[in-house]
Amino acid sequence: MAIYYAAVEGDPLDSGEGGRVYGTKKTIGTIQDENGRSRSMVFIGDEGYCAKCGSAGVITYGAGMADNRRMVDLVNGGRRQAVGGDVVLCKCATPPRIVALYGQKFKIIDGGGGMLGGIAENATGAVSPAPQEPERHRHVRWFYVWDAATGEPLRNRDYVADVAGSRQSGKTDSDGYAKIETDGEQSVEIHTTFSSPRRNLKPYRGAESG
Q: What is the number of other CB atoms lying within 10 angstroms of the CB of residue 151?
A: 19
Query: Does 178 participate in binding Zn ion (rule CB under 5 A)?
Result: no
- Choices 89-97, 119-127, 147-155, 178-186 (CB under 5 A): range interacting with Zn ion: 89-97
Measured CA to CA, the distance from residue 187 to residue 206 in angstroms comes to 6
Query: Does 89 participate in binding Zn ion (rule CB under 5 A)?
Result: no
Measured CA to CA, the distance from residue 150 to residue 29 in angstroms comes to 19
Q: What is the number of other CB atoms lying within 10 angstroms of the CB of residue 67?
A: 10
Query: Does 53 participate in binding Zn ion (rule CB under 5 A)?
Result: yes
Closest distance to Zn ion from the beta carbon of 16 (Å): 9
Terminal CA-CA length for the chain:
34
- Based on CB atoms, which residue is closest to Zn ion, 52 or 97? 52
- Based on CB atoms, which residue is closest to Zn ion, 55 or 169? 55
Closest distance to Zn ion from the beta carbon of 51 (Å): 8
Q: Which of residues 119-148 bind Zn ion (CB under 5 A)?
A: none
- Choices 23-31, 36-44, 51-59, 173-181 (CB under 5 A): range interacting with Zn ion: 51-59
- Based on CB atoms, which residue is closest to Zn ion, 50 or 74? 50
- Based on CB atoms, which residue is closest to Zn ion, 52 or 139? 52
Query: Does 97 participate in binding Zn ion (rule CB under 5 A)?
Result: no
CB 102 within 8 A of CB 11: yes
Query: Does 50 participate in binding Zn ion (rule CB under 5 A)?
Result: yes
- Choices 24-32, 34-42, 46-54, 114-122 (CB under 5 A): range interacting with Zn ion: 46-54
- Choices 82-90, 103-111, 119-127, 149-157 (CB under 5 A): range interacting with Zn ion: 82-90
Taking alpha carbons only, the member of 156, 181, 182, 160 closest to residue 169 is 160
- Based on CB atoms, which residue is closest to Zn ion, 50 or 82? 50
Residue 195 neighbours by CB under 8 Å, 6+ apart: none
Measured CA to CA, the distance from residue 92 to residue 114 in angstroms comes to 36
Applying CB under 5 A, the residues found at the interface with Zn ion are: 50, 52-53, 90, 92
